[in-house]
Structure 1
Amino acid sequence: MKRDRLITMMEIAIMAGIGGVLSYYVALRLWPQGGSASLAMVPIVILAFRRGWVAGVVCGLLVGLINLMISPYITHPIQVVLDYPLPYALLGLAGWFRPVDEKGAISIKRMGLGVTIAGLARLIPHFISGVVWFGSYAPEGWPVVLYSLCYNASYLVIDVLVTIILMSYLLKKAPQLVASR
């Protein structure tokens, strides 16, 4: 029992480190007020599928904190929570949709649903932060709510699609990565 817990904690630490590196070094940074398309979702959802949603949430929380330490953009303490630890922690919810069942059958649809739901959950705090703290950046004539939605969805859609593509490949080539032991 203790050994399994230790292995899970080690996997969380390793995947959080990988997620932090991927979000910093492998990112498409085209957006002026923050937000970037990266591969940071991949290790978080791998862990969530492998060890469950709780481990995924903890891993995502750590990735968000790593991002906060590496490249912070801070306007308010609540904005920090809404833009860093909370959205990444919500990615762990993908663990609700494990794509490999007890018999070893793989479901690409369940994986895609899990990644999509997790991506939508991540969008919510970013959207709220955008409306409250970054609405002044909206172009003239644009409603702040629409601006925040479009701005945040522009990079999150890329993240979700790339994660689904990579996870589909990984599930076909190495399903043991997401099968819990």
Structure 2
Amino acid sequence: MEQTFYAKILSILAQPTSIFMLVGLFILIAVFLYLKKIKLTTKMLTHIGLLLALTVILNMIRIYHMPQGGSVTLGGMVPLLLIAYCYGPAVGFLAGFIYGLINLLQDPFILHPVQVLFDYPLPYMAIGLAGFFRKRFLLGAVVGIAGRFVCHFISGAVFFGSYAPEGVSPYWYSFLFNASYLVPDLIICLLILRILPIKTLIRQMGSNRPL
């Protein structure tokens, strides 16, 4: 009986999709347990709602849209970055999760439940990592969007490898495909953050976190 149990566990873990599903679910559970420590005020919810609406609008302004998903936008991630800077990574994770679900409804490209996890909730939750770098806005943007890149890279390598040209590694294909739109998107976000008076915006939003 014990050997059969371990054999089943090993057979599950031998499947990459099973491993990534477990990792993704673990991340979601850890984040939501962390969120229990956060008290969301009406003012915070109002700001988050407005910035999420702005995220939706900016992501609809597409400079270029990739065939299998992914777009270069007019700074579509900046509002999510502002949420993370103002209210911290945990609230940034929550806002990213909500936007991921909105994006799934707006622009679905579904091959597998695990692919949905790594292409929608998790990558946008990763933007919340910017909240750990509140005093270094540009570095925070790089870290947050790099986290998003990792999620899309995993999804691309595992689920979209069949789109790779003959003789091209699915990992290399996924790297180039996701970098082709996320790097320009990052550059646009960095330029916008460089121009915006971030500290002034955070003060006006009434954040209690020290600058």
Structure-1-length-normalised TM-score: 0.86
Q: What percentage of aligned pairs have identical amino acids?
A: 40
Q: Which secondary structure does the structure 2 equivalent of 1:142 belong to? A: coil
> How many pairs align?
166
Greater RCO structure (CA 8 Å; 6+ sep): 1
Query: Residue 133 of structure 1 aligns to which amino acid in structure 2?
Result: F
1:131-161 deviation per Cα after TM superposition (whole angstroms, max 9, x unaligned): 1110011111211100001100111111111
Aligned counterpart for 1:45 among listed residues 81, 84, 103: 81
Partner of 1:166: 192
How has the CA–CA distance of structure 1 residues 5 and 30 changed in structure 2, closer, same or farther, with 3 Å as cutoff? Answer: closer
Alignment of 1:142-157 (within 5 A): 142-157=168-183
Superposition deviation, residue 46 in structure 1? 0.9
Aligned counterpart for 2:200 among listed residues 173, 176, 181: 176
Residue 125 of structure 2 corresponds to residue 89 of structure 1 = yes
Structure 1 or 2, whichever has the larger Rg, is 2
Could you tell me how far apart the structure 2 residues matched to 1:48 and 1:21 are? Answer: 19
Superposition deviation, residue 29 in structure 1? 3.0
Superposition deviation, residue 4 in structure 1? 6.8
Could you tell me how far apart the structure 2 residues matched to 1:133 and 1:16 are? Answer: 28
Partner of 2:153: 127
Aligned counterpart for 1:64 among listed residues 95, 100, 112: 100
Q: Which secondary structure does the structure 2 equivalent of 1:29 belong to? A: strand
Could you tell me how far apart the structure 1 residues matched to 2:87 and 2:162 are? Answer: 41
Any gaps of 5 or more consecutive residues in structure 1?
100-109
Aligned counterpart for 1:115 among listed residues 105, 120, 141: 141
Partner of 1:14: 50
Superposition deviation, residue 175 in structure 1? 3.0
Superposition deviation, residue 13 in structure 1? 1.5
Any gaps of 5 or more consecutive residues in structure 2?
1-38
Moved over 6 A (4+): none
Aligned counterpart for 1:31 among listed residues 60, 66, 80: 66
The question of whether the paired residues in 2 share the 8 Å contact of 1:8 and 1:55 is answered with: no
